[in-house]
Chain A
Amino acid sequence: EIVLTQSPGTLSLSPGERATLSCRASQSVSSSYLAWYQQKPGQAPRLLIYGASSRATGIPDRFSGSGSGTDFTLTISRLEPEDFAVYYCHQYGSSPLTFGGGTKVEIK
Chain B
Amino acid sequence: QVQLVQSGAEVKKPGASVKVSCKASGYTFTNYGITWVRQAPGQGLEWMGWISAKNGNTNYAQRLQDRVTMTTDTSTSTAYMELRSLRSDDTAVYYCARAPTFAVAAVYWGQGTLVTVSS
Contact = CB atoms under 8 A, between A and B. Distances in A.
B46, B104, B105, B106: which has the most chain A beta carbons within 10 Å?
A: B105
Contacts of A97: 35, 47, 102-103
A24 B61 CA distance: 21
Interface residues of B, number: 22
Overall SS of chain A's interface: loop
Interface in A68-108: 88, 90, 92-93, 95-102
Interface of B: 35, 37, 44-47, 59, 61-63, 95, 97, 102-107, 109-112
16 contacts: A44-B97, A44-B110, A44-B112, A45-B45, A47-B106, A90-B105, A92-B103, A92-B104, A95-B59, A95-B102, A96-B47, A96-B63, A97-B35, A99-B45, A100-B44, A101-B44
A96 B61 contact: yes
Given A44-B111, A44-B112, A99 B47 contact: yes
Contact of B47 (A57, A93, A98, A101): A98
A40 B99 CA distance: 22
A56 B108 CA distance: 11
B117 to A, nearest CB: 20
A45, A47, A57, A99: which has the most chain B beta carbons within 10 Å?
A: A45
A100 B106 CA distance: 16
Overall SS of chain B's interface: loop
Nearest to A86: B44
Contacts of B95: 44-45
Nearest to A101: B44
Give the 10 A-B residue pairs with the shortest CB-CB distance, closest first.
A35-B105, A44-B109, A97-B47, A99-B45, A50-B105, A96-B61, A101-B44, A47-B107, A102-B44, A92-B103
Interface in A54-71: 56-57
A32 to B, nearest CB: 11
